[in-house]
A and B are shown apart, each in its own frame.
Chain A
Amino acid sequence: AQSVSQHNHHVILSEAASLELGCNYSYGGTVNLFWYVQYPGQHLQLLLKYFSGDPLVKGIKGFEAEFIKSKFSFNLRKPSVQWSDTAEYFCAVTGSARQLTFGSGTQLTVLP
């Protein structure tokens, strides 16, 4: 069975600080990896995804993530956060199953 761990439950940063959110997955086969964001009062939106090719994936709003197969990791990064990035961020994986398995999420609060 596949599983996802997000170790940071709540991250608080000041504007312009750099961001890195950790994501580790457990699955022995080929995976597709995703980061979703949920802004307050809004639905889950796809930030970026990896399913093959370049392990460094660029997404919307300046976010990027790097797939490191040897570490079973898919960490999310942004060089300089903005107040509008305040949201909950979910890492997710699909393996043999078609459905997504989500981590428990990381709440990011960016202070102006």
Chain B
Amino acid sequence: DTGVSQNPRHKITKRGQNVTFRCDPISEHNRLYWYRQTLGQGPEFLTYFQNEAQLEKSRLLSDRFSAERPKGSFSTLEIQRTEQGDSAMYLCASSSRLDSGNTIYFGEGSWLTVV
């Protein structure tokens, strides 16, 4: 499978703990996105990388959230001091600068439950 890969797929954590999610984009896609989705809602944009540079961050991304893409390939999203309101599906997506329509391809997501 050469799609966007995310892990872990499910994470249950206690409030106050830190969690980290990993995303491997489609090979050679230079653009990488993180979104958050809660039940009954559409995905909400969190942050965007072009290669290793983090170019955009949503106001939804509080200072407890940090994302990295150190070598311009895989990315990590870390949530520190988790809160119950952080419970959601965290989606990673990627696209290619060579695609003029900028079609964005999504991974299967990482479910986070904070108890």
Contact = CB atoms under 8 A, between A and B. Distances in A.
Genuine A/B complex: yes
Interface of A: 4, 32, 34, 36, 42-46, 49, 51, 90, 92, 94, 97-105
B101 A101 contact: no
Nearest to B106: A44
B20 interface: no
> What 5 pairs across the A-B complex have the smallest Cβ distances?
A102-B42, A44-B106, A43-B108, A51-B101, A99-B45
A44 B33 CA distance: 14
Interface string B30-65: 010101000011111100100000001000000000
B42 A105 contact: yes
Contacts of A102: 42-44
29 contacts: A32-B101, A32-B102, A34-B103, A34-B104, A44-B43, A44-B91, A44-B106, A46-B103, A49-B101, A49-B103, A51-B100, A51-B101, A90-B42, A90-B43, A94-B102, A97-B56, A98-B48, A98-B56, A98-B102, A99-B45, A99-B48, A99-B104, A100-B33, A100-B104, A102-B44, A104-B41, A104-B42, A105-B40, A105-B41
A99 B107 CA distance: 15
Given A101-B45, A102-B42, A102-B43, 18 more contacts: A43-B106, A44-B91, A45-B106, A46-B103, A49-B101, A49-B103, A51-B102, A92-B42, A97-B56, A98-B31, A98-B48, A98-B95, A99-B45, A99-B104, A100-B45, A102-B44, A105-B40, A105-B41
